Structure 1
């Protein structure tokens, strides 16, 4: 079921691009960005009201304000506006594939600015996704399409910054983080839209945009979190990484966008690049030193400190890890950050 949740999350998120393209015929990019993110916040608040507070996640505090401000600006204000401005100018299938650059930008920023480990796979992935982006602009005769794809690349960069800033508070409640980002980002873009366009958005398209945000951003996140609880962040993220290809296929099938040699080449290059990054999951014998920290977790090879039968499957508390040597599949996460 966890794999189904991850793929469903990817599918719902992928729909935001072709359906957003349709709504851009009725709403301006600022308006669409505002209502989609407000819809996301509304959907997440409803889910939290139904599911109750998370016992495993820590609440945001004052020390997190700088990170909240940063990821709200880049992820909640700048990125959706850039995306929909680019989508207005470019076919949705090409926009979807260009969004693969977010994964590469995220990895590059993490390595260059936050000291995370990179390697040959990362640089090969950068080259492949860059080649794919180049192919997207080769045979597209749509006026302004090149500018549109450049704006989508900037949106991907903004979301990559958002991802890295959000990682600084990764132990906090992910639904609360996304709801804050959606609410504040949506309000800011709505105020900007009113100031720029001097009009109220048409009601019917605005309601549809709210629904799109609730489903493609809100429900998608809920399903992704549900899948992470069983698969772990790395494996769930690998399945979720299929969303650009789902979005491109949806644009071809439902919007009757043309399939060209450049688009097919971009598909191959970007798929190879994403596969390289997803393949950072590896297995070898490694050593864990003594470590004390606090984060949400379940009982696995690194968390066997409970013997009580009634301990919740997913919980949070301060705990210690003793020295441990073992072998298993892993990525470079908070338990595997050493240069092994």
Structure 2
């Protein structure tokens, strides 16, 4: 028997949330320079290339990720949901929704992640987490109401697209949980490369062209940090917390994004926006103050990946 406090996993989840939260208002600044497909593709290109390059440097060359054959369907399905469909829906939603409101709506990703984890993948839950989820959903309903709460007259449609993106990422999170014991950099990097190839390929096939480097460069950097590093940290958090609780801690991301959108880019808000924010903040507080510390029984652990002297493998084995 062994008790796990998971403090390092919590820190990884919160760091992932901060980086991804910042990427939403930053990415919105480039929505007018290219299509949603192309923007999503470039963000993931920065993520994939950057993470795989880091992995090569870390391991002093290329090594097999060691994924078992049964794990590949989980990973590839996760890539399709979270790396291709989700980002495209988000970029389309950003075109008609303020970055601040879109950032808060991303709280619904954690709710949907937890619901799938509880009812489909049979993770445990408690009343405190459920109440927090209910408050976040209530805030999301306020933000999804058509009108000035989301910053435009088309906010309802934009909000629906962002909720769709959240559902895609919720599926992605739960599917990735099934392979989270494998190399985090490889998983996140492969997601980025595949998503980039699909989205950029579709954009070019539709006759769109790449913007100048002065636009492409910053987008790639945002993708590397806000999508790539964030996703690698998220995978690390999944190992110690599970999909439901990692999604709950990741709920801090929207508040980082909203703060940047309002404080840095000066976006306007409304009473409904602040009401939604308070509801969601209360829900997040319930999640962050939940005590998840109880005995776990572990049988023999089998690892299908090779061991290298890197940060990923500095953990105890029962």
TM, length-normalised to structure 2:
0.82
Task: Give how far 1:6 is off.
Answer: 6.4
Aligned to 1:275: 285
Q: Distance in 1 between matches of 2:241 and 2:105?
A: 23
Mapping for residues 124-203 of structure 1, pairs under 5 Å: 124-138=131-145, 139-140=148-149, 142-196=152-206, 198-203=207-212
Q: Distance in 2 between matches of 1:291 and 1:261?
A: 52
Which protein shows a greater Rg?
Answer: 1
**Selected match of 2:49 from 33, 42, 46:** 42
Q: Is 1:114 aligned with 2:121? A: yes
Task: Give how far 1:96 is off.
Answer: 0.5
The one-character-per-residue Cα deviations of 1:12-39 (angstroms, maximum 9, x if unpaired) are 3222111111100101100000000011
Query: Greater helix percent: which structure?
Result: 2
Aligned to 1:17: 24
Compare 204-213 and 234-243 and name the one that shifted more. Answer: 234-243
The one-character-per-residue Cα deviations of 1:113-152 (angstroms, maximum 9, x if unpaired) are 1111223234323321121012214443512111111111
Q: Distance in 1 between matches of 2:38 and 2:12?
A: 30
Q: Is 1:261 aligned with 2:268? A: no
Aligned to 1:206: 216
Compare 240-249 and 275-284 and name the one that shifted more. Answer: 275-284
The one-character-per-residue Cα deviations of 1:140-167 (angstroms, maximum 9, x if unpaired) are 3512111111111111110000000001
- The answer to whether the Cα contact below 8 Å between 1:58 and 1:171 also exists between their aligned partners in 2 is no
Q: Distance in 2 between matches of 1:287 and 1:166?
A: 22
Are residues 209 and 6 of structure 1, via their aligned partners in 2, closer, same or farther at CA, if it must alter by over 3 Å?
Answer: same
Q: Is 1:216 aligned with 2:226? A: yes
For residue 142 of structure 1, give the secondary structure of its aligned residue in structure 2. coil
Task: Give how far 1:209 is off.
Answer: 1.6
Q: Distance in 2 between matches of 1:190 and 1:213?
A: 14
- The answer to whether the Cα contact below 8 Å between 1:295 and 1:318 also exists between their aligned partners in 2 is no
Q: Distance in 1 between matches of 2:246 and 2:175?
A: 20
- The answer to whether the Cα contact below 8 Å between 1:107 and 1:122 also exists between their aligned partners in 2 is no
Q: Distance in 1 between matches of 2:65 and 2:197?
A: 25
For residue 255 of structure 1, give the secondary structure of its aligned residue in structure 2. coil
Q: Distance in 1 between matches of 2:135 and 2:171?
A: 21
- RMSD between aligned alpha carbons? 3.3
Question: Aligned pairs, how many?
Answer: 299
Compare 34-43 and 241-250 and name the one that shifted more. Answer: 241-250
Query: Greater strand percent: which structure?
Result: 1
Higher relative contact order (CA 8 A, sep 6+): 2
- The answer to whether the Cα contact below 8 Å between 1:35 and 1:206 also exists between their aligned partners in 2 is yes
Q: Distance in 1 between matches of 2:134 and 2:174?
A: 21
Task: Give how far 1:4 is off.
Answer: 8.0
Are residues 47 and 119 of structure 1, via their aligned partners in 2, closer, same or farther at CA, if it must alter by over 3 Å?
Answer: same
Aligned to 1:293: 301
